[in-house]
Amino acid sequence: MIVWVDGAFGAGKTTLAGELVRRLPGALLLDPELVGHILRTWVPDEDTGDFQDVPLWRDLVTATVLGTRRRYPDRPLVIPMSVLDARYRDELFVPIRVTGEDLLHVFLDLPVELLRRRIDADRAEAGARSFRLRNAERAAVTVAALPADSLALRSDLHSPAELADLVMAALANGPSQGHPGPPTQLSPPLDIRVRPPLDDAAVSALHARAFGHPYAEAPPWRDRLAQHSLTWIGAFSGNALVGFVNAAWDGGQHAFVLDTVVDPDHQRHGIGTALVRALAEQAAAAGCAWLHVDCEPHATAFYRDSCGFRATDAGLLRLR
């Protein structure tokens, strides 16, 4: 059994990890940050200054976790470590899980403003403080795109003991039970569908709910998609549309992400990430070499960290 406690600096990872070690008989505490400190004695830092960006760090952490489990198979492992890049999380978790290890990913969520106040109150040196503040913003986006098998908990709404109770309950039910919505309700089963038949009113109502604008007369979504889209993806809970994205294209190698949206009641369950990844797979299958996206600043980390886009220079011209 492995419990990975994730979240931004100041969210309470170390405190929760200590509480879990006290409760789980024979539990061992493994701190991957120490691996990073050791690496820095001989491996050059990446330009970012973050040792997580060094591929060898991810390799060594995975090897250390699996080696510890092999040597001490009867002792639970508790790991407090922020991993806010979804690609790095996959590099760490997938090799562990394919060996048959049960890994519960716990993410401690906290409002960004409260995180900032905690970081400001800490007497860390300026460089560390700047790094932690940047990660506070990233954490806010990461929690919105967590996979369905993560356990997201609001650490400002529960004491450390209550958080530990919730984790212990999840362990009792099995690490694959899915991650709860705020704070303990399990996410409903969802169905990701490619080019599903869509009701114009349902798509418009979804956008109105997600973006907080009044519902207006529904535009002809079905006709527009049929004429201008390479493909579109819908997320459904039963027959209810709860997520949507589509791709326009140039008829050749370039496709463009448009209208990514998830119903507010279903956010923070990895649906947006699943939609965009499914869209990318369909675009690649259609022969596209490039998938483009432009977004507002608050969504940059979602597309970059959860969906794998890289930053490029671009321009926008308003026509009306």
How many Cβ atoms sit within 10 Å of the Cβ of residue 98? Answer: 8
**Local structure of 318: helix, strand or coil:** coil
Q: Count of residues for the chain?
A: 320
On whether the CB atoms of residues 242 and 193 are closer than 8 A, the answer is: no
List Cβ<8 Å contacts ≥24 apart for 40-46. none
Backbone angles phi, psi at 104, to 5 degrees: -100, 120
Q: Given pLDDT bands bounded at 50, 70 and 90, which one contains residue 51? A: confident
List of residues 6+ apart from 278 with CB closer than 8 A: 192, 194, 233
pLDDT confidence of residue 181: 34
Q: Given pLDDT bands bounded at 50, 70 and 90, which one contains residue 97? A: confident
Mean pLDDT of 87-102: 88
Q: Given pLDDT bands bounded at 50, 70 and 90, which one contains residue 125? A: low
**Local structure of 48: helix, strand or coil:** coil
List of residues 6+ apart from 35 with CB closer than 8 A: 57, 60, 61, 64
Eight-class DSSP state of 218: P
262 has which bridge partners? Answer: 243
Eight-class DSSP state of 189: P
Q: Give all domains of the chain, ordered by start, each with its CATH number.
A: 2-186 (3.40.50.300), 191-306 (3.40.630.30)
Question: Is the pTM above the cut of 0.75?
Answer: no
CA–CA distance, 126 with 174 (Å, rounded to integer): 42
pLDDT surpasses 60 at 236: yes
How many Cβ atoms sit within 10 Å of the Cβ of residue 260? Answer: 21
CA–CA distance, 112 with 20 (Å, rounded to integer): 25
| pLDDT tens track for 193-230 | 999 999 999 999 999 988 887 776 788 999 999 999 99
pLDDT confidence of residue 184: 30
Mean pLDDT of 57-66: 94
57: nearest Cα among 31, 81, 39: 39
Q: What is the dihedral of CA 140, 261, 270, 165, to 10 degrees?
A: 60
CA–CA distance, 46 with 50 (Å, rounded to integer): 7
Which range has the worst mean pLDDT, 57-66, 79-88, 225-234, 309-318? 309-318
| pLDDT tens track for 134-149 | 677 677 667 767 777 7
CA–CA distance, 162 with 25 (Å, rounded to integer): 18
Which range has the worst mean pLDDT, 93-97, 171-175, 288-292? 171-175
**Local structure of 226: helix, strand or coil:** helix
pLDDT surpasses 70 at 129: no
Q: Say which residue the tokens 């403080």 belong to.
A: 129
| pLDDT tens track for 132-185 | 766 776 776 677 677 777 888 988 888 999 999 999 998 987 644 433 333 333
On whether the CB atoms of residues 14 and 163 are closer than 8 A, the answer is: no
**Which amino acid, one-letter code, is at 138?**
R
pLDDT confidence of residue 245: 96
182: nearest Cα among 112, 268, 111, 271: 268
The terminus-to-terminus CA distance of the chain in angstroms comes to: 57
pLDDT confidence of residue 299: 86
CA–CA distance, 174 with 129 (Å, rounded to integer): 37
Mean pLDDT of the residues in the chain: 85
